[in-house]
Amino acid sequence: MHLTMAAVELTASPGAPHQRLDPALLTDVLWACANPADGPEHVTVLTSHGRADMVLYCLADSAQQARSAALHCVRRALGTSPLLTGWTARELPLDIPDIPGTPDSETPQ
C-alpha cells in the first residue's frame, strides 16, 4: 500500500441550508465518517460559497482504489451529516502523472 491523493468536490444546491461550510468542521465530519478500510491518513479542505474542495490522502494499492475510497467516505458523510443536506459530491481529476514502474502507478489503458 502507498499513500495516494484523491480529490473530491462538494457543491451546494440552491436550497441547501448551509451554503458555506467551515473547513475545520467539514474535516471533522469527514474523519467521523471515515472507515479504517478507506485508509485515510490526511484530509485538506478549502471552502467557498456553495463549494468545498477536498484532498484526501489514503493508503491504497492503486490510485483508483484511493479515489474510490475517498468518494465513498465523502458520500457517507453526505448521507450522515445534516450539515451537508443539499450537497453533492464528485471526483476531481488530479493532473499528477503516474511514473511507470513505481509501485503506485497504474497500467496505461
Residue 1: per-residue pLDDT: 84
| Contact residues for 98 (Cβ-Cβ < 8 A; gap 6+) | 63, 104, 105, 106
Structural contact between residues 11 and 63, judged by C-beta atoms closer than 8 angstroms = no
Q: What order do you get walking across the sheet with 51-60 strand by strand?
A: 40-48, 51-60, 2-12, 87-92
* pLDDT at residue 99, rounded to an integer: 46
Flag whether the pTM goes above 0.75.
Answer: yes
- Interatomic CA distance for residues 63 and 47, integer angstroms: 24
C-alpha cell read off for 104: 503506485
| Domains defined along the chain, listed by start | 2-88 (3.30.70)
What does the pLDDT profile of the chain (109 residues) look like in tens digits? 888 899 999 999 999 999 999 999 999 999 999 999 889 999 999 999 999 999 999 999 888 899 999 999 999 999 999 999 999 999 998 765 554 444 444 444 4
Question: Residue 63 forms beta bridges with which residues?
Answer: none
The per-residue pLDDT for 107 is 45
Contact 41, 106 (CB under 8 A): no
